[in-house]
Amino acid sequence: MPLPRRDALRIAGLAALGTSFSTHDAHGQAPAAPSPRGRLTQSVCQWCYAKIPLRDFFRQVAALGLTAVDLLTEEQWPMAREYGLTCSMGNIAAGSIRDGLNNPTHHPQLIAAITTGIPRAKAAGVPNVICFFGNRGAIADADGIRHSIACLNQVKGIAEDHGVTICVELLNSKVDHADYSGDRTAYGAEIVRAVGSPRVKLLYDIYHMQIMEGDVIRTIRTYQDVIGHYHTAGVPGRHEIDASQELHYPAIVRAIAATGFSGYLAHEFTPTRDPMTSLREAVSLCAI
């Protein structure tokens, strides 16, 4: 659908500043740039820009006015700090998409990774760490829910003690992650509400949940109490969040902001055009 005029003007205005964002001073430092305005704090997932050398990527992200990068490993956290960036969602190797909370076989590894990773995240100023529900396999959903609750109950205390939030990601099982158990918001919400900790939340990926259930804005309003982090991407294709795809992100961002959300909205789309131009436009589009 066409962008509202004010959103189109915002993109055009920020694009006009693009050359200044990509230049550096005599010492190779990026020039200061104003933080993206808006009611939500935006971030970006580094893996979507893997072709850009990491230091160049951090430098350009900082020049856009962003303050955080998502899904960095512990080894990457110090480098991000060199550019004034924090890691908004830390990857502490707590399981995988396939091997997650729903299977008790994986609980020892998950508990060990979270127990050792959260104190290091706290020390590095990383506010969130990611984990996953895991593939179903032969595990019934009722059992997967019960096992997930049991595992999270064992680690919620260390998350609470250190003020770091464990975010469990919702993913689609229709297109990208066949057999993934946490493919519906209600499934994840049942687990998070049963655990009952302010430091255990869902990572609501807008792209994935649009594919699985749609009704994004009403879902956000209904489950706002269990959502601790958001990811963006366009549907279909997981590319730019512009008018070429079916989601209207300005309305979604306004709905998130209206819930009083104070965490991160992280862009996780794979660009089809010049990567930093696409990111710049997405940041402007969501600066509402």
Q: Tens of pLDDT along 201-212? A: 999 999 999 999
DSSP secondary structure letters along 157-214: HHHHHHT-EEEEEP--TTTTSTTBS--SHHHHHHHHHHHT-TTEEEEEEHHHHHHHT-
User: Would you kindly state where each structural domain of the chain is located, as residue ranges?
Assistant: 38-285
CB atoms within 10 A of CB 13: 10
State the residue for tokens 């160049």. 56
Is pLDDT above 90 for 14?
no
**Alpha-carbon torsion, ordered 267, 272, 273, 276, to 10 deg:** 20
Tens digit of each residue's pLDDT (9 = 90 or more) over 148-188: 999 999 999 999 999 999 999 999 999 999 999 999 999 99
Tens digit of each residue's pLDDT (9 = 90 or more) over 187-204: 999 999 999 999 999 999
Average pLDDT score, the chain: 91
Is pLDDT above 90 for 38?
no
pLDDT of 37: 63
- Nearest Cα residue to 188 out of 204, 199, 175, 176: 204
Ramachandran angles phi, psi of 103, nearest 5°: -115, 115
User: Are 288 and 38 spatial neighbours (Cβ–Cβ below 8 Å)?
Assistant: yes
CATH architecture of 38-285: Alpha-Beta Barrel (3.20)
pTM comes to 0.88
Per mean pLDDT, which range of 24-28, 97-101, 173-177, 261-265 is the poorest? Answer: 24-28
Is pLDDT above 90 for 287?
yes
Rg of the chain's alpha carbons, rounded to an integer?
19
Across 265-277, average pLDDT: 98
